[in-house]
Chain A
Amino acid sequence: MQLSEHIKDHWTEQRVFTMRVIIAGFFGVMLILFLMSRLFVLQVLGHDYFADLSQGNQVRIEPIPPTRGLIYDRNGVLLAENVPTYQLEFTPERVPNSDAMLERLLALGLMDEVDLERVQTQLKTKRRFDSIPLRYRLNEDQVATFAVRRHEFPGMDIKARLARHYPLGGSSVHAIGYVGSITESDLDRLDTANYANTTHVGRIGVERARESVLHGQVGYRTAVVNAQGRWLNEIEGEGESPHPGWDLHLTIDSDLQAAAEEALADYRGALVAIDPRNGEVLTMVSTPNYDPNPFGEGLSSSQFQALQTDPNRPMFNRALLGRYPPGSTIKPMLSLAALADGTVSHTHNSFCPGFFRLPGRERRYRDWKPEGHGWVDYDAAIARSCDVYFYELAVEMGIDNMHKALTGFGLGSVTGIEIIGEKSGLVPSREWKRSAFSRREDQVWFPGETVITGIGQGFTLVTPIQLAHATATLAARGKRFQPRLIKGQQNRETGEFVATDPIPLPGPLVASDEQWDRIIKAMENVVHGVDGTARAMAPREYRMAGKSGTAQVFTIGQEEEYDAEALEERLRDHALFIAFAPAEEPTISVAIVLENAGSGSTIAGPAAKIVIDAHLLGSSK
């Protein structure tokens, strides 16, 4: 039985197969007849109709790109707008001898070498039936020059376009970002139909992060064109209007931004100011900056190269991506945590001989003041930034508690601000060290590493936005809000305004009002106390709370090369300062990092004060 089932019956198989082939053939013939009848409908019955459509003048559907939403600062100052420009465009598919024509345009001065370089890259990356801009922003002379010679350039035409323009130039560029030409790789992630005839897309910053809001909805019109493809007239009623993108209102205050940029102009660094009451980012500066306007016009690769290889790295957004050792700026957070969990009492006194030793060890951990601070209590330790006090505190707390305290303030993880690509920084812990290193002997946490973590050195790295966020949390007495750059968005057609609400985050720790009072008082003494490290800059008009930091630079980026003089400059300490004011009811909190600028209290502090002055007193002087 089993056997007989396996014996193949070739005659039956052949018969079944032939039968199936006949059935398939029958279906095939039916389908072909169906196809032919369709051809008959199109080519015989529909011939006149379609011939009309195809003959002489023809119908072309043309997408109308939506107008990109505008970007305003918190006071309604325009940060990004669309300006009407004339640009020369062509569709490669329609221009058979494009090389000769491009030569001719060069000779006429309607293009330059930079344009040519860009066009040649776009010829390779764009589809043959997409329009490629030959030159952006033609002036009136150039428009006239082309207009009289238009017949020499079939397939090329001048189009009126809206081009993105940033009236304040490089100001706020690291927050706003810029738009750039759409490339083939963009087409993979964008809805190509909605971007038909759109030439630019948000590249970085808010322009990138809120691309979908800013872009809008494409429309189209149906037009009659002549045999050369030139637009003759529109067919009414056959089309749909585009819907413009929403306008964005940022939390940035451009006056404050300008004051901060001026204060930081001579340095590489970043400053972030946050309203501690709601997390709104009032200022976000990273210097040096750069002008975003050329990006919209198509940067040549040599221009782009120059920006990329500039040793000061203007395109690097230090506020969100720069990772720096926080130095003494983390002392307020640590000491508050120590106070809250009872590790230290505010009456505790400690003697500072100018160095610290772990019990039974030889190695000396030096204080910044070689002769020592003598007897210091809790307040004095912060005001005078006594390192020895914090070495002891660190050992008492242990690395696990310090890790908990610092991460509670949002250090070592992304803050969640709208801009894409924020770096997380690092707050070390035993667990981190176990997983970060491959060699067994490197995975052990050493007591000495706990000691230096107490003054914000060692592995600890934070970004300026994290530091500003932590400062805002101190200012708001433990109320944490996610930093935000966008205040709201407005529909241009209906006027509807949708505000973005503050996003509360869980508090960093449980501390009593008294303990908060004490830490804020201590920070006030940094600025206003008789031996505060920043007493030289104490404002008279209001009370400021602050903390200076001077962070040692241990390493230089390995792939970077500097000459000897520059190297020496880049080994200097980073200057840091955090502050908020007015101390009683803070409305602004600031964190500033200046690379290789030296002392936090003498260099970074005054820059922070300029911004706070501008905010509270309304003057940048």
Chain B
Amino acid sequence: MMANEALQFKDSRARSRPSLLRSLHLDGPLLVGLIVLSAFGLLALYSASGAETGPLFRQLVRMSVAFVTMFVAAQFSPSFLRFWSPWVYLMGVLLLVWVLVSGAVGQGAQRWIDLGFMRFQPSELMKLGVPMMVAWYLHDKKLPPTTLQVGGVLLFIAVPTYLIATQPDLGTSLLIGVSGVFVALLAGMRARLIAAIGVLGAAALPALWYFMHDYQRQRVLTFLNPESDPLGQGYQIIQSKIAIGSGGIFGKGWLNGSQARLDFLPEPDTDFIFAVMGEEFGLLGLIALLCVYVFIVARGLFIAVQAQDTFSRLVAGSISLTFFVYVFVNAGMVTGIMPVVGVPLPLVSYGGTSMVTLMAGFGILMSVHTHRKLLAR
């Protein structure tokens, strides 16, 4: 048994010499990828916020909080996280209901709870809560899941997704739904079932359309074709395409993007920061950025494949794939191949709460990788 060990694990060299990173429960490659991405992001943010240091420092503070969160999350073992998953999920649902009720009382949409020193969005909790819950539900089942079990999974996904959609925050609710669906897909949900649900979903769309009010239909139409609304979202898309296109292969150079600097591009430091990078760093800069993202996602999937138990595997896989979806949805929106949904570019856009959640997710990935036991399965 002891003799086999060295043969069985390819990375046994790393383990035989107790590294600092390993004892801190951190994953070196993932950490490097995240730091490179953050640095890239700060550079772009400085330019996008008009070469002012104020937003830069505030973002640095948030980033520090996010990295600390990641570190803390990495210390919890996967079995500990698994044990708490249903409770996290339950609390998240209760908080969502609470926000909905208190929002209805206080008139107007409300997505957050005021804790006094900060505002907390329960939907952030659910970004991790939903995949963890679904993975917890499936971890002791014989996989692939039965049709009935898939039904249960869909219920777990549907409740928070519905609650967040009524806030109304359609973008976030869809992304949270997707993170749960990824768990089911990775768990080996049968291809026939996937096809059946896909067809059912497509068939439900016209029915939904039929039940919608006129103003809701109008919103969907603008959502699908923003250019028909040149004063609203269409304006942003037009300007962001100009920004990216005028950047060319090599870009206009750092701090030299006229679209963002002259305020043609609204929200250059948040949802549309990808366009600022495209204008200033050009095609090469954007490809480099996408490569960093791909590296992070690939490392995450590698960690998932290496994981030793079902729960870890499913959660790690879902977190990595969802991260990819965030990147693609934002980049797709800014380049005009996706409808405008308010999704920030992960770890680059200005703003705090979503960054903390993302980094907590990476903390979980690191925990999964560094808590592996030396035993054969």
Which of A47, A185, A220 has the most C-beta atoms of chain B within 10 angstroms of its own C-beta?
A47
CB of A61 within 8 A of CB of B235, answer yes
CB of B186 within 8 A of CB of A21, answer yes
Q: Which of B141, B182, B185, B282 is in CB contact (< 8 Å) with A43?
A: B282
CB of B245 within 8 A of CB of A196, answer no
Q: Which of B187, B241, B321 is in CB contact (< 8 Å) with A50?
A: B241
Q: Is B355 an interface residue (CB 8 A)?
A: no
Q: Is B247 an interface residue (CB 8 A)?
A: yes
CB of A188 within 8 A of CB of B188, answer no
Cβ contacts under 8 Å, B109 to chain A = 188
Q: A13-B143, A192-B232 are in contact. Are A54 and B324 (CB under 8 A)?
A: no
CB of A9 within 8 A of CB of B142, answer yes
Cβ contacts under 8 Å, A311 to chain B = none
Q: Is A513 an interface residue (CB 8 A)?
A: no
Q: How far is the CB of B370 from chain A (nearest CB, A)?
A: 19
Cβ contacts under 8 Å, B317 to chain A = 17, 20-21, 24
CB of B108 within 8 A of CB of A185, answer yes
Q: Is A618 an interface residue (CB 8 A)?
A: no
Q: Is A107 an interface residue (CB 8 A)?
A: no
Cβ contacts under 8 Å, A35 to chain B = 290, 328, 331-332, 335, 337
CB of B290 within 8 A of CB of A36, answer yes
Q: A21-B186, A227-B262 are in contact. Are A193 and B232 (CB under 8 A)?
A: yes
Residues of chain A in range 297-349 having any CB-CB distance to chain B below 8 Å:
none
Residues of chain B in range 230-250 having any CB-CB distance to chain A below 8 Å:
230-232, 235, 238, 241-249
Residues of chain B in range 154-182 having any CB-CB distance to chain A below 8 Å:
182
Q: A39-B278, A43-B282, A58-B264 are in contact. Are A7 and B142 (CB under 8 A)?
A: yes
CB of B290 within 8 A of CB of A32, answer yes
Q: Mask for A40-69, Cβ within 8 A of B = 1, else 0? A: 101110110111011100101101000000
Q: Which of A20, A40, A42 is in CB contact (< 8 Å) with B188?
A: A20
Cβ contacts under 8 Å, B44 to chain A = none
Q: How far is the CB of B222 from chain A (nearest CB, A)?
A: 8
Q: Which of A9, A12, A39 is in CB contact (< 8 Å) with B244?
A: A39
CB of A39 within 8 A of CB of B246, answer no
Q: A38-B335, A53-B246 are in contact. Are A8 and B142 (CB under 8 A)?
A: yes
Q: Which of A13, A25, A220 is in CB contact (< 8 Å) with B231?
A: A220
Q: Is A212 an interface residue (CB 8 A)?
A: no
Q: How far is the CB of B111 from chain A (nearest CB, A)?
A: 13
CB of A28 within 8 A of CB of B297, answer yes
Q: Is A505 an interface residue (CB 8 A)?
A: no
Q: A39-B283, A43-B278 are in contact. Are A21 and B377 (CB under 8 A)?
A: no
CB of B242 within 8 A of CB of A53, answer yes
Q: Is A31 an interface residue (CB 8 A)?
A: yes
Cβ contacts under 8 Å, A141 to chain B = none
CB of B245 within 8 A of CB of A42, answer yes
Q: Is A113 an interface residue (CB 8 A)?
A: no
CB of A43 within 8 A of CB of B305, answer no
User: Which of A90-98, A424-432, A462-470, A555-563 makes up part of the contact surface?
Assistant: A90-98
CB of B142 within 8 A of CB of A218, answer no
Cβ contacts under 8 Å, A58 to chain B = 258, 262, 264
Q: Mask for A100-137, Cβ within 8 A of B = 1, else 0? A: 00000000000000000000000000000100000000
- Cα A16 to Cα B145 in complex, Å, equals 12
CB of A8 within 8 A of CB of B246, answer no
Which of A51, A55, A192 has the most C-beta atoms of chain B within 10 angstroms of its own C-beta?
A51
Cβ contacts under 8 Å, A53 to chain B = 242, 245-246
CB of A54 within 8 A of CB of B246, answer yes
Q: How far is the CB of B239 from chain A (nearest CB, A)?
A: 9
Chain A, Cβ-Cβ closest to B244: A42
CB of A16 within 8 A of CB of B143, answer yes
Chain A, Cβ-Cβ closest to B215: A191
Q: Which of B188, B244, B324 is in CB contact (< 8 Å) with A17?
A: B188
Chain B, Cβ-Cβ closest to A196: B231
Q: Is A364 an interface residue (CB 8 A)?
A: no
CB of A10 within 8 A of CB of B377, answer yes
Cβ contacts under 8 Å, A512 to chain B = none
Q: Is B224 an interface residue (CB 8 A)?
A: no
Q: How far is the CB of B369 from chain A (nearest CB, A)?
A: 15
Chain B residues engaging chain A, CB cutoff 8 angstroms? 50, 52, 108-109, 140-144, 182, 185-188, 229-232, 235, 238, 241-249, 258-259, 262-264, 266, 278-279, 282-283, 286-287, 290, 294, 297-298, 301, 304-305, 310, 313-314, 317, 321, 324, 328, 331-332, 335-337, 377
Chain A residues engaging chain B, CB cutoff 8 angstroms? 5-10, 12-14, 16-18, 20-21, 24-25, 28, 31-32, 34-36, 38-40, 42-44, 46-47, 49-51, 53-55, 58, 60-61, 63, 91, 93-94, 96, 129, 185, 188, 192-193, 196, 218, 220, 227, 229
Interface pairs (21), CB distance under 8 Å: A7-B142, A8-B143, A8-B310, A10-B377, A14-B313, A16-B188, A20-B185, A28-B297, A28-B321, A31-B328, A35-B335, A36-B290, A44-B249, A49-B245, A50-B241, A50-B242, A50-B245, A54-B279, A58-B258, A185-B108, A196-B231
Which A-B residue pairs are the 5 nearest by beta carbons?
Answer: A50-B245, A54-B246, A16-B188, A193-B232, A43-B283
